[in-house]
Amino acid sequence: MSETPQELRYTDTHEWARLDPDGTVCVGISDFAQDALGDVVFIELPETGTEVAAGAEVAVIESVKAASDIYSPISGEVVRVNSDLVEEPDLVNSEPYEGGWIFVVQPLNDDQMADLLTAEQYQEFCESEDHDH
Amino acid sequence: MPTIPTIFDTSEPGRIAGVQTPKAGDLTGLPAEALRVSKPVLPEVSELQTVRHFTKLSQQNFSIDGNFYPLGSCTMKYNPRGAHRAASQPGFLSRHPLTPAFASQGLLKCFWDLQETLKTVTGMEEVSLVPMAGAQGELAGGLMIRAYHEDCGDFDRDEILVPTAAHGTNPATATMCGFKTREIKVAADGDVDIEDLKRLVGPKTAGIMLTNPSTCAVFERRILDIADIVHDAGGLLYYDGANLNAILGKVCPGDMGFDVLHLNLHKTFATPHGGGGPGAGPVAVNSLLQPYLPIPMVGKLNDEYIWLDENYFPLTIGKLSAFMGNAGILIRALAYALMLGREGMVRVAEFATLNANYLAAELSKAGFQLAYPTRRATHEFLITLNREARDLDVRALDFAKRLLDFDMHAPTTYFPLLVPECFLIEPTETETKAVLDEFVCAMSKIREEAQEDSDIVKQAPHNQVVRRLDEVRAARVLDLTWSAD
Amino acid sequence: MLQSIGVANIDELFDEIPDSVPVANFRSIEHSLTEMEMMQRLSERAREDELSLCFLGAGSYDHHIPAAVWDLATRGEFLTAYTPYQAEASQGTLQLLYEFQTMMASLASLDVANASLYDGGSGLGEAILMAVRSNRSAHSRKIVIGGAVNPFYVKTANTLVRNQGIELVQVPHDNGLFDPLQCDVDDPSAVVVQQPNFYGLLENVDAISNWAAERKALLIAVVNPLTLAVLKPPGEWGASGADISCGDGQPLGVPMASGGPSFGFLCSKMKHVRQMPGRIVGRTLDANGDVGYTLTLQAREQHIRRAKATSNICTNQGLLVTAATIYMSIMGVAGLRHTASRCHENTNYLVAQLEATGRAQRAFSSPYFHECVIRCAGNVDALTKTMISDHGILAGYPLGDIDPTLEDCLLLCATERRTREEIDLFVELFSRILKES
């Protein structure tokens, strides 16, 4: 069973989002998603300064047999990217919620986190997806 | 078998094949800044070393000549050597591509004959032989569809519909044509979900791309209904000819409502795959799209064959290659068509279908699960190894790798994606019953092995030049060129 | 077999095809021929097209091909293998491709090469698409085509790129050369230059490379791979080198064969590799820790990335790459250098002899490599026609069709295969025909 930390918010495209004390939002992909992808071999990171809208494609993550887009959970500006992933893309597999974070967004406005899924809602969503397949 | 050192590892500085080295020419007139100073990494070996190296490398390949190769949707049938020899004659090989038509009547006659043959085979109005592979044929088709709508003043049609099971080239092609792709669901029986099609089709629809038999290896039974639905909405029908081998001589795409299609001559017309290419992907169209065909084509004026270029086809989508596509592959296809003739062409579909249905029946009797058990196999069929994956912890990938140890190439695996743990199996018409029976034995044997000790299968192959390769490492630690270190 | 399936006859196997689809009618297709009859027919046609001497280049060249090249390339194990998706059953093809990538990247002095595209023309189209994806700092989607780039390539590339909102801006040549100062495009995504250019001339590639770099445009170098044994490779042009190099591999052991099949090649700096189209082979280890080869970076390709793939290309030109790899191995650096320099000297001799007749002179004065534009005192169309009809000689490419200012000009080439005697004969005929016309 994959981990779904309670304190994070999620999307139906399998990103997680964490509101940090400085008001920025850190984004990665869920344990469920990294497991489905398999060994990650490359992540195409966005450039800092990029303006993103909620639901827009921001990054691309590749495993040997799959590639998927990573969408920004919220609108704002990309202020940091995880450059460790250039050398160690497998951090996304080994620690999806810590060292495997992908980018940080300065939100355009507050309250956007409330639109995202809670851990429970996301877990339910993953179970229903699992049944479809 | 040991791995073979690269040819660079066997190089020795200064060694050359003297007999292949012409007398050096004088470069003194050229400006120094235009000249090369660095020395490129090329082998420094004798001719014998080269011959031996590449002979040894060749022996590490599976091939149709050496192995049963039941790759679904790839049509790995025998490639007649006669066709290859015919295209390798000096008059064809030494012809410069810019030789004027009046001095190229032999070649143009060949192209004309092939155009005419393919018109009959497809039931279409006109053919262009230009595209160099199936994917380029698709691109030509997509561009023609776009040009047609734009000429009708219809600029809003920017969507191409494809079934979820479609080959990846279909959506990739749509993007290259400037279209968006919308995927249509496939119903439980393998046919297109007509209700989903009706939901998706509309004023934005430029066209639909279909393979028939479909990528689920069944004949799309409601093809005429699909044609009506798409045509009524103002869209066009594109036929991906990847599976034409299944219906050659039985029915024509032109009679199924298609407006434009490509053929894969390296599949249906048995030209060699060459370890990845070359192929040829001629396109055929009905009268609506005829003005947009890619150039050049061959025409006949009085008794002379001529090139038809933009002067004859001002609305053409243009050129797809510098010269005339993969001309040599076209000659091979013509040679194959001549040897098959009228009666042979019908036999292709009949024997390919017979072989596939027999193999499906025997595998089913041996306890393997057909993906669409209520349907006829076409020239190929799908099995799912879901049960084996669940009960024995041995996946389709493992079966595929173990088959190599039985000296048989694996079928296509994990395509289409919607059938879990699948094998797409295409035995082709050129295999004997004995070979098909051997394949059933091998599959049964592998399952027995898995029941006794699944590691034998999960760690296969055991008898090949290499064991299973670390693809993750290959992608993470990119080693794409040799260097001395 | 029918019994096992449970049908009475083969027709029953087609019972899912609706009756409303008419049965195919193949009556217009002739009856089958034996291999002998087929060969007789096609041999007659091949013989009909045979000519004796070729002085035509323009993108396809009459080079010598060592006998071993095609003897090896057409071994059944190379000829009738599929794409090496099952790596363990395809180590021969995969290792060969790895060696090919090494040779091509090194010839271009760039980091990586793919396993081939269709041809030089479509290869330029793919190179342009790659550059636009890779150059995220430019937004114009305009591509500068500098001077004399092969017009067949440009036309082909235009077919491939124009539906993606990309515009090719042709800068006319100035005395046969690309002069960037005559270009008024701000913010181009990429600049395309050919070396030697279509007219055989040597461009000032260092200056052009620097000019492109100053504008943050990627530089695409269209090159003839044979000449790279002698000419400065794209990776070493200017201060930073070209970003992408492409061209047609025909000069490397591939017969002219009416222009196809040959192969397109594509090399680039490592930083662009994720935008590269087509297959790429990587070296890795197997479960025992032994060296092996496999296709890699497949997430770029259509079978995984579908609508967002770098290209729709699937089948490529593998067999031709096999021949080219064997060719480069046999020839080595010395073989390629000598062949290329011999072509240059032969063309030099041809040009000098033609000029000595007083009926021809060079159209452009700057240095050329192994092709040259010759202005003729007479009708070039009549000349080339007579040369073919009466003597079986291809006397160059008349340039009037592609450039009206060169109406009386021929593009000529004498490869290493042309002997002094053949060149002398050609010059004599050239002079005589022009005199009589």
Show me where the domains of chain B are located.
Answer: 82-339, 349-471
Quick check: B161 and B207 in contact, CB under 8 A? yes
A127 occurs within a structural domain: no
Quick check: B52 and C75 in contact, CB under 8 A? no
Quick check: B175 and B162 in contact, CB under 8 A? no
Cα C61 to Cα B45, C12, C173, C412, distances in angstroms? 25, 54, 24, 11
% of chain C surpassing 90 pLDDT: 96
Output DSSP code: residue C251. Answer: T
Q: Is B420 on the interface with A (CB under 8 A)?
A: yes
In chain B, the residue whose alpha carbon lies closest to the alpha carbon of C284 is: B474
Q: What pLDDT shows up at residue B3?
A: 82
Q: How far is CA A105 from the centre of its chain?
A: 11
Q: State the nearest Cα–Cα gap between B442 and chain C, in angstroms.
A: 17
A133 occurs within a structural domain: no
Q: Is B23 on the interface with A (CB under 8 A)?
A: no
Q: Is B471 on the interface with A (CB under 8 A)?
A: yes
Compute, in degrees rounded to 10, the torsion defined by CA atoms A48, A53, A59, A61: 150
Q: CA C128 to CA C134: how far, in whole Å?
A: 10
CATH number for the domain spanning A46: value is 2.40.50.100
Tokens in use for B64?
Answer: 């149709």
% of chain A surpassing 70 pLDDT: 96
Total domains, chain A: 1
Q: CA B36 to CA B2: how far, in whole Å?
A: 38
Q: Note whether B96 contacts C273, CB cutoff 8 Å.
A: no
Q: What pLDDT shows up at residue B2?
A: 61
Q: What pLDDT shows up at residue C255?
A: 98
Q: CA A10 to CA B221: how far, in whole Å?
A: 43
Q: Note whether A133 contacts B420, CB cutoff 8 Å.
A: yes
Count CA within 13 A, CB hemisphere, residue C336: 30
Helix locations, B223-277, DSSP H: 223-232, 265-268
Q: What domains lie within chain C, and their CATH numbers?
A: 53-63+332-436 (3.90.1150.10), 67-326 (3.40.640.10)
Q: Note whether C304 contacts A44, CB cutoff 8 Å.
A: no
- Interior angle at CA C50, CA C47 and CA C55, nearest 5: 175
Q: Is A68 on the interface with C (CB under 8 A)?
A: no
Q: Note whether B475 contacts A90, CB cutoff 8 Å.
A: no
- What are the backbone dihedrals phi and psi of residue C109, each rounded to the nearest 5 degrees, phi first? 55, 40
Which chains neighbour A (Cβ–Cβ under 8 Å, 3 or more pairs)?
B, C
Q: Is A64 on the interface with B (CB under 8 A)?
A: yes
Q: Note whether A67 contacts C274, CB cutoff 8 Å.
A: no
Q: CA A118 to CA A9: how far, in whole Å?
A: 5
Residues near C403 by beta carbon (within 8 Å), at least 6 away in sequence: none
Closest CA to A85 of A100, A96, A67: A100
Q: Determine the structural domain holding residue A56 and report its residue range.
A: 19-109
Q: What pLDDT shows up at residue C137?
A: 84
In chain B, the residue whose alpha carbon lies closest to the alpha carbon of A42 is: B476
Q: Note whether C150 contacts B322, CB cutoff 8 Å.
A: yes
Quick check: B125 and B285 in contact, CB under 8 A? yes
Q: Is the pLDDT of residue A130 over 70?
A: no
Q: State the nearest Cα–Cα gap between B425 and chain C, in angstroms.
A: 15
Mean pLDDT for chain C overall: 96
Q: Is C308 on the interface with A (CB under 8 A)?
A: yes
Give the confidence band of A133 by pLDDT, cuts at 50, 70, 90.
Answer: very low
Tokens in use for B418?
Answer: 């919607």
Give C133's contacts in chain A (Cβ within 8 Å).
Answer: none
Which fold, B82-339? Aspartate Aminotransferase; domain 2 (3.40.640)
In chain A, the residue whose alpha carbon lies closest to the alpha carbon of C304 is: A66
Q: State the nearest Cα–Cα gap between B390 and chain C, in angstroms.
A: 24
Give B150's contacts in chain C (Cβ within 8 Å).
Answer: none
Q: Note whether A47 contacts C136, CB cutoff 8 Å.
A: yes
Q: Note whether B90 contacts C51, CB cutoff 8 Å.
A: no
Quick check: B272 and C320 in contact, CB under 8 A? no
Q: State the nearest Cα–Cα gap between C308 and chain A, in angstroms.
A: 10
Q: State the nearest Cα–Cα gap between C199 and chain A, in angstroms.
A: 41
Q: CA B250 to CA B260: how far, in whole Å?
A: 19
Q: State the nearest Cα–Cα gap between A120 and chain B, in angstroms.
A: 28
Q: Which amino acid is at B330?
A: L
Q: Tell which of A41, A65, A88, A131 to mutate to test the B interface (max B CBs under 10 Å).
A: A41
Give B420's contacts in chain A (Cβ within 8 Å).
Answer: 133
Whole-model pTM? 0.97
- In this prediction, residues C301-322 reach a mean pLDDT of 93
A83 occurs within a structural domain: yes
Residues near B467 by beta carbon (within 8 Å), at least 6 away in sequence: B459, B461, C88, C286, C287, C288, C290, C292
Tokens in use for B37?
Answer: 């100073």
Quick check: C79 and C319 in contact, CB under 8 A? yes
Pairs of CB atoms within 8 A across A/B: 13
Tokens in use for B293?
Answer: 């065909």
Q: How far is CA B448 from the centre of its chain?
A: 34
Q: Note whether C304 contacts A67, CB cutoff 8 Å.
A: yes
**Domain B349-471, CATH number (from 3.90.1150.10, 3.90.550.10, 2.120.10.30, 3.30.450.30):** 3.90.1150.10
A34 occurs within a structural domain: yes
**Which residues face B161 on adjacent strands?**
B182, B208
Which residue ranges of chain B lie beneath pLDDT 70?
1-2
Q: CA B88 to CA B83: how far, in whole Å?
A: 9
Q: Note whether C45 contacts B139, CB cutoff 8 Å.
A: no
Q: CA C124 to CA B299: how far, in whole Å?
A: 29
Q: What pLDDT shows up at residue A131?
A: 59
In chain C, the residue whose alpha carbon lies closest to the alpha carbon of B124 is: C24
- Interior angle at CA B297, CA B248 and CA C317, nearest 5: 70
Give the confidence band of A100 by pLDDT, cuts at 50, 70, 90.
Answer: very high
Give B483's contacts in chain C (Cβ within 8 Å).
Answer: 102
Q: Which amino acid is at B222?
A: R
In chain C, the residue whose alpha carbon lies closest to the alpha carbon of A47 is: C136
Helix locations, A7-118, DSSP H: 31-37, 84-87, 91-94
Segment 178-207 of chain C within 8 Å of chain B by CB: 202, 205-206
C403 Ramachandran zone, left/alpha/beta (phi>0; psi -120 to 50): beta
A58 occurs within a structural domain: yes
Q: Is C283 on the interface with B (CB under 8 A)?
A: yes
